[in-house]
């Protein structure tokens, strides 16, 4: 049985891969190839890479080769691949319902990768996009979401984060922001463990109405 919940916020901060755009098959194929090249267990990498910066994953598993040049090489190769890349359900509708100054993207992808994916899926690039190369620490560190909220001009209590990965949900929690977890790439138990405030299938279960005082009324179907 679905349960409807309603709350208010001033802005939305979206993750990108797995939240707005489906790139999971491409990303997982990339990490499997990487694991094979470096004689690593692909299942271990896939269990820890979702929602995190490429450089952080490489540093964890093969620190001696972790360079920005290597990351650029892999991400540019991935960005050129388009097969299977598509918007996830509900994305276009929710972005259309939001004022342009009330939403941002905070992604673990590089600027090059993020812009490529948004252009491939014909998604408008918002005024604020925080990418992997703009932060010193990636998710689950709160730096990215804190920066996104600050650049939009909203304090953490007035922001809602939308994420598919536990690392991103933990980043939202650490920044003092509420979060909506999407069941697009992970199990409900994983998002609950990361302490998502609300968990839904995807963004088709989220509706937004602009109120007269400028706040956003958010209704979700859990």
Mean pLDDT across the chain, nearest whole number? 93
Asked if the model's pLDDT at residue 78 lies above 90, the reply is no
pLDDT tens digits along 185-219: 999 999 999 999 999 999 999 999 999 999 999 99
- Find all residues with CB under 8 Å of 42, minimum gap 6, and list them: 31, 32, 35, 36
pLDDT computed for residue 1 by the predictor? 65
Crossing angle between the packed helical segments 24-37 and 42-49, to the nearest 10 degrees:
140
Strand, helix or coil for residue 142: coil
Instruction: Give 66 or 87, the one with higher predicted confidence.
Output: 87
What gap in Å lies between CA 86 and CA 22, rounded to an integer? Answer: 5
> Cβ(48)–Cβ(57) under 8 Å?
yes
pLDDT computed for residue 90 by the predictor? 98
What is the band of 29 on the pLDDT scale with cuts at 50, 70, 90?
Answer: confident
What is the band of 146 on the pLDDT scale with cuts at 50, 70, 90?
Answer: very high
Identified catalytic residue from 17, 56, 141, 205: 17
Identified catalytic residue from 15, 22, 164, 205: 15
- Percent of the chain at pLDDT > 70 equals 100
Strand, helix or coil for residue 32: helix
Q: Where are the alpha helices (DSSP H) in the chain?
A: 24-37, 42-49, 54-61, 68-79, 91-97, 111-120, 143-152, 166-175, 188-193
- Percent of the chain at pLDDT > 90 equals 68
Instruction: Give 66 or 134, the one with higher predicted confidence.
Output: 134
Active site residue 17: yes
Asked if the model's pLDDT at residue 136 lies above 70, the reply is yes
Crossing angle between the packed helical segments 42-49 and 54-61, to the nearest 10 degrees:
140
What gap in Å lies between CA 215 and CA 85, rounded to an integer? Answer: 33
pLDDT tens digits along 154-192: 999 999 999 999 999 999 999 999 999 999 999 999 999
pLDDT computed for residue 50 by the predictor? 76
pLDDT computed for residue 45 by the predictor? 87
Instruction: Give 8 or 29, the one with higher predicted confidence.
Output: 8
Strand, helix or coil for residue 172: helix
- Find all residues with CB under 8 Å of 77, minimum gap 6, and list them: 30
What gap in Å lies between CA 213 and CA 190, rounded to an integer? Answer: 36
Joined together, the tokens standing for residue 34 give 């990487």
Instruction: Identify the structural domains of the chain with CATH numbers, from first to last.
Output: 4-23+85-221 (3.40.50.1000), 24-80 (1.10.150.240)
Confidence (pTM): 0.89
What is the band of 221 on the pLDDT scale with cuts at 50, 70, 90?
Answer: very high
């Amino acid at each position: 049985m679905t349960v409807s919940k309603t709350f208010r916020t001033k802005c939305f901060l979206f993750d990108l891969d797995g939240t707005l755009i489906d790139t999971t098959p491409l990303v997982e194929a990339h990490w499997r190839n990487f694991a094979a090249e470096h004689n690593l267990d692909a299942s271990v990498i896939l269990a820890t890479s979702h929602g995190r910066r490429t450089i952080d994953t490489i540093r964890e598993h093969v620190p001696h080769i972790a360079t920005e040049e290597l990351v650029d090489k892999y991400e540019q190769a991935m960005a050129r691949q388009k097969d299977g890349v598509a918007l996830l359900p509900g994305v276009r509708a929710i972005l259309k319902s939001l004022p342009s100054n009330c939403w941002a993207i905070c992604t673990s992808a590089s600027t090059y990768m993020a812009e490529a994916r948004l252009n491939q899926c014909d998604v408008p690039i918002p005024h604020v996009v925080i990418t992997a190369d703009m932060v010193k620490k990636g998710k689950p560190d709160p730096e990215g979401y804190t920066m996104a909220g600050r650049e939009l001009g909203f304090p953490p209590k007035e922001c809602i984060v939308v994420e598919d990965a536990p690392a991103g949900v933990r980043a939202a929690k650490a920044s003092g922001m509420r979060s909506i977890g999407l069941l697009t790439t992970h199990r409900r138990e994983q998002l609950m463990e990361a302490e998502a405030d609300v968990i839904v299938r995807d963004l088709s279960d989220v509706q937004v109405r602009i109120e007269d005082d400028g706040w956003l009324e958010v209704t979700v179907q859990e």
